[in-house]
Amino acid sequence: MPWRACWIYAPLTVFAIATVDPLNAPLDGLFFVGAFQLILKERLLPPEVWSYFPYASGAILLVWVAVGDNAVSRFLSSKPLRWLGHKSFSLYLLHSFMPASVGMAVYSATAGMDFLARVLLSTAAVLASSAAVSVLFARYVDDASVRIANRYAQFAYARNTARTVTFGESFTAGCK
């Protein structure tokens, strides 16, 4: 049943394949959202299609932020968030280990304090230790593994291009 609503998202692909004027992107998106709402109001599509409206609105906002030069895109391009993006894989790998180890240790060590203070201290300790360990992990594990993978890729590419022959050469090689 939900596949009937897929056609409403087709115009949104224009944002992905064409250059969009940052000022017109939200207006174009509002047009599609308005058309979507009109279709729902007139009951041209089943009522469960309404559940797709937030996703369409979110996609429009995402494209507007990505395409335009606005406060949100400047905020997302700030140095701290770019740093966080670089460390995101390390944080992803550590996100279950740090609360289970550091968070529980700090929470247990502060047994005499009230609940809120214990939670805030353990949360601060988890955030600080996660940032510190992710810096080390990114430098010594993540970046190193990317360098090794790049070296291997260069080696494999050089080896394969050196051995590559054209069809005509391989066909006539046995005739000499």
How many C-beta neighbours within 10 Å does residue 64 have? 22
Q: Tell whether 25 and 46 lie within a shared domain.
A: yes
What pLDDT sits at residue 17? 47
d(Cα 127, Cα 125) in Å, to the nearest integer? 6
What pLDDT sits at residue 119? 92
% of the chain at pLDDT higher than 70? 62
Q: Tell whether 122 and 59 lie within a shared domain.
A: no
Domain boundary at 62, 77, 92, which? 77
Domain-embedded: residue 118: yes
pLDDT band, very low/low/confident/very high, at 114 (cuts 50, 70, 90): very high
Q: How far apart are the first and last CA of the chain?
A: 66
Q: Tell whether 39 and 94 lie within a shared domain.
A: no
d(Cα 124, Cα 130) in Å, to the nearest integer? 10
| Domain hosting residue 60, numbered range | 2-77
User: What are 53-105's pLDDT values in tens digits?
Assistant: 777 778 888 877 777 777 877 888 889 999 998 899 999 988 888 888 999 99
Domain-embedded: residue 13: yes
User: What are 76-87's pLDDT values in tens digits?
Assistant: 888 999 999 889
Q: Tell whether 113 and 153 lie within a shared domain.
A: yes
How many C-beta neighbours within 10 Å does residue 113 have? 13
